[in-house]
Structure 1
């Protein structure tokens, strides 16, 4: 069985962060979202894996996969030339899949549970397709399945009147017959080849598609708040204190905390769960619960909690506590104590700022 991870989406709901980096490489606990999916596939014994990407971001994906991978397998990259939908993203990978069965994983999803039970069900029941679903309170926001027994009768994308509360959570298993179904469908009203249409085509062609009722925690990280929530969830799983940097005697550390190599904590309070990356300096500051501070970050005279701060950023003397925030790479936020007090902003498109009043 092969693994296929789809990462060609534009990430428009996460701008401006996604103007310079794909959403699938944004960090959770200082690790790209994509890596959680890759590790799940490897844990299920899948070692032939391809990632479908936009050509615009191919170099960035290649650099991340080469620099940060903790695994010993090669990951293939496949270009989707135009953003024409999930089914089209699968179609461009046909030469990689060939005639093998494959597990499909949406690269902006995080699922906290093993994939082996899905593979076992798919193979034991000799299904043509298996869709992992989760019970949700707002099914109209997702692709939804309608069942007949434990087989899928119908799939609907973001229905106004959902036929069930079972939302597709971004993991699927298919046989090669999916490519024949994709060849039969036409673009949806939004101009994309929809995976839900291809699944419905399989059903109409009398193929047997089942469901796996997932008991796992799951999050689609398509919105800024989703990243914050997912980061919180993963940090809650931390235990103990792992210190590889320098902490001076005037600092106070409360577990669980992970501090990377060559990091320096000076006259500061770190209250876990918190992860701090390599070569990062925290001085005269408070880093509160559910914060992920990446590598090569400098934070002076600040209070931060429940936030994600990315690489090579400098935060200095911010006059308010930073909370529930996403701060990108190579950002500088500097407080100015001199008079007259004013705000100087160099802000890109689609930025979002909230100031106390």
Structure 2
């Protein structure tokens, strides 16, 4: 679809239910038809007006004359040896983003199916260990484009594993809190009874740390989980790998997380990649423990996934065990997250949305 053709019609999924109802009435359609259309768009994930079979042909033609539905399309797909599936999604304007289906590995979690979704095309934060951070940020994703990733990954889960999606993590390409409104709108559509009706407690939004927007999440009383990509509890070290820390210091982040907890009562997750000979000493563990005392949190220790643009290495297993053991000895809840999909560049920090046909 050309850009000129796209501009001739409006994206119908940018209308609220009330706006759609008003439009229908203005065009001599009965108001209740708007509810039917909204259900097709968000509950049944219709990709065209022709699919809306309980509407008359005249009504469908009217909608088609004025509006577009702009679903993303699977451009390429790769399956890892561990079952992880990475998809490259092409958007209506030709841009690419990536999303990942992560099936459970452990038998105890065999019903768990997790979608990792993107919120931006590229990223502006330039984190030194992340492939997306080396890309240009081209634009934010609309709420419907985030929603479409979830719908598609859910379809993949059902087709490949015979089970529906159970969890969603906003940990793909981009910084979710720099696309604040669209991210919250996408969560609303995913969790609404008029949408996918998933529990917000099954959703985790991960941020590199935008203190002002973390406080805004508290003010908005969000029900989903929040994760902070910390990776160093020392401003000097964090500045080196995450330039965003220069304007959002650990002190500012701790205050924002405390505010978020007071407003929502939700314990935060601190994500911490252990880089070899950089942030993996017992002193680093002590600094992380000190940070956890400032805000109720659990810690996810994440295995590093090498990228071509950086020289960081994953720490060795013995160092990781000592690091985790120290935190646990201080009463910190620690989970060690093993990477999935490394053989297809689908693991944490590896998503780059490259057009492999280019």
Q: TM-score, normalised by structure 1?
A: 0.27
Q: TM-score, normalised by structure 2?
A: 0.27
Bigger fraction of residues in helix: 2
Bigger fraction of residues in strand: 1
User: Which structure ranks higher in relative contact order (CA pairs < 8 Å, sequence separation ≥ 6)?
Assistant: 2
